[in-house]
Amino acid sequence: MSKAIQNGDYLFKKVYDYVLHRIERKEWKEHEKIPSVRQLASEMNVHRLTVLKAYQLLKQHDKVYVKDKAGYFVQSNMTKNLEYLDLDNPIISAYVQNNHLSEIHQLPVSYHFSQALIDPNLLPNHYFSDYVKKVFDFYPKVLATYSTVQGDLELRETLTQYFINQYKTHLGADDLLITSGSQQAIHLIAQTFIKPRDVVLFERPSYSAAIDIFKAQGAQIVTVDIHPDGYDLEQVEYYIKQYKPRLFYLNPTFHNPTGYTVSVEQRKKLVELAEQYRCLLIEDDAYHDIYFDHAPPPPIYTYDTTGTVIYIRSFCKYISPGLRIAAVICQSSSLMNSLLAVKSLADNGSPLLNQKIFLHYFSSLRLQQHLEKIRIALQIRKEIMEKELAVTDWKWISPKGGLNLWVQLPDTLPTELLLTKSIEQSISFVPGQVCDPLKQLSSWIRLSYSYVNEKQLREGVKRLVAVAQSLYK
C-alpha cells in the first residue's frame, strides 16, 4: 500500500482496497467498467469525494483508466500511459491491445499515414467564409436557436431529394436523422439496440471506432471475413441462424480499412437474409463519393423494402470535417422513434449553425466541382504511395476509392517493432490488430494516402520502406 494511502483516512483506504481487491482477484476484468462514483459511494455508504479520490489514485497507479463521459474502466496489465512509453521497446501493448488509435493520431509526427482524413489543403476552406456570412444573413438568430433533435427540416428535405434523385427510391424527410458525424450515429445505434451480451456481427477487419463502441456497450462480437469479392454468404447465413445477432455492422463501399467494395448481387442477398432472419443491417458509408474510376453500386438500403437497413452517410470528411454532419436513413418509424429518444438524451440536435453552413454548400454547384478535383488528387496520391511501395515484397489490392491501402507485410517483419521504429522516424500508421475485433491481424497495416501532400507522401513512404528494410531478419 502506498504511503499516501497509509497516511490517509480509514474510509479512503477502505474504498481503495475494496476496488483493488476486486481487480486483483479478476472479479472485474480488463477493460470492464467499474461502478460509477455515485454508485460505489451509495453501496459503501461513503461520500462521493472519498470514492473520487480513491479512483484518482487508482488511475495514477495504472489500475483504472477513464473514458470521457463513460466512467472508469479496469486497466490492462500490459498498458502504460503514453507519457511513460520507452520508444526503444515495442509499443504494441499501448497502441494496439487497448485500441487507443486516437493516441497514434496525436503523435507529433510529420508523416501521418494513420490519419484517414483528407489533406486540409484539398478542402474548400476559402469558400466557407462566404457560406458562413450567407447563413447569418438568412438566419440572423441561428446562434440563438436549437435544432430539432431529428435535425434541421430544410437540410433533411434537401438530402431526401438528393437521395431520391440518386437512387430512385421512395424516401421522406421523416426517414432522416442528422447526427454530429458518423461516429455519433454508430454510438446512438449501439445505445439504442444493444444491451450487454447481445451478439453483433462484424466484418473482419473493420472500422476500429465502431469495434470500440459496440464492445463498450457490452456486445459479443462474431466476425465475418471480408474478401476482395465480398463475404462468404453461406457463412453469414450460418452465423445469423446460429448466433441470432441483433445486427450486422458493415461498411460495403470502399471498406475501411481494406478498400473492398461488395457487389450488387451480394447487397441484394444480404437484404434477403436480414429480412428472413430479422437481423438489422447497419450500413456505414463514409467514402461513397470518393471513387476513382466509376461510381460504386447503390447502397444496400436502396434494396430494402421492410425497414431492415439503417444507413449512415457521412459527407463532411471531404467537405469540412469540423462541421461533423452525417445523415442516418431509417425507414422504420418505430426504430426511428427509438433513435430519436436516445439522441434527445445526448443533445437537443446537432448544432444548427453547422447544419445550415453544410446545407448551403451542399446545395451549390461548387460541391460537384470540388468532388471532381478531390477524386483526381486522391487517385494521384494513391498511385504515388503504390509506386513507392512497389520496391517491397508487401502485398495489397489497389482500391477503386476511399482513403486507405490495406497492406500485408512478410511474417518476418514484426509490425509492433516497425511501428516503434517508424515513430522514431516521424511516421505513423495503423497496425492491423487495431482494425481486428479479434486482435489477430498482426501482419497487416493500414496506410492512409489522403492526409499528407504529394512531396510528404514520397518522402514518408521512402522512410517507412527504409525502416522496414532495416528490420528484416
Give the H or E element holding residue 159. helix 153-167
For helices 182-193 and 208-216, angle between their N-to-C axes, nearest 10 degrees: 30
| pLDDT at 141 > cutoff 80 | no
What was the pLDDT predicted at 207? 96
**Grid cell at residue 343:** 439522441
DSSP string, 161-226: HHHHHHH-----GGGEEEESSHHHHHHHHHHHH--TT-EEEEEES--HHHHHHHHHTTPEEEEEEE
Q: Which domains does the chain have, with CATH numbers?
A: 3-76 (1.10.10.10), 92-121+368-471 (3.90.1150.10), 125-366 (3.40.640.10)
Nearest Cα to Cα of residue 169 among 178, 177, 160: 160
| pLDDT at 144 > cutoff 80 | no
pLDDT mean over 308-327: 93
* Cα–Cα dist 313/326, whole Å: 6
Nearest Cα to Cα of residue 239 among 200, 282, 194, 272: 200
Is residue 347 helix, strand or coil? Answer: coil
| Whether the Cβ atoms of residue 302 and residue 285 lie closer than 8 Å to each other | no
Q: What is the 8-class DSSP label of residue 97?
A: I
Predicted confidence (pLDDT) per residue in 257-314, tens digit: 999 999 999 999 999 999 999 999 999 999 999 999 999 999 999 999 999 999 999 9
* Cα–Cα dist 128/361, whole Å: 8
Predicted confidence (pLDDT) per residue in 73-82, tens digit: 898 754 333 3
Residue 45 falls in which region: left (phi positive, over 0), alpha (psi -120 to 50) or beta: left
Predicted confidence (pLDDT) per residue in 405-455, tens digit: 999 999 889 888 899 899 999 999 999 999 999 888 889 999 999 999 999
Q: Of 36-40, 55-59, 393-397, which range is least confident? A: 55-59
pTM: 0.79
pLDDT mean over 159-180: 96
* Cα–Cα dist 243/171, whole Å: 32
Nearest Cα to Cα of residue 420 among 82, 78, 76, 98: 82
* Cα–Cα dist 340/91, whole Å: 41
> Which residues, at least 6 apart from 44, have a Cβ–Cβ distance to it below 8 Å?
14, 15, 18, 51
| pLDDT at 94 > cutoff 50 | no
Of residues 164 and 87, which shows the higher confidence score? 164
Summary mean pLDDT of the chain? 88
pLDDT mean over 54-70: 80
* Cα–Cα dist 393/380, whole Å: 22
Cα distances (Å, whole numbers) of residue 114 to 35, 43, 381, 463: 34, 43, 15, 15
pLDDT confidence of 473, banded at 50, 70, 90? low
Give the H or E element holding residue 249. strand 247-250
User: Rg (Cα) of the chain, in Å, rounded?
Assistant: 24
For 315-383, list the strands marked E by DSSP. 326-330
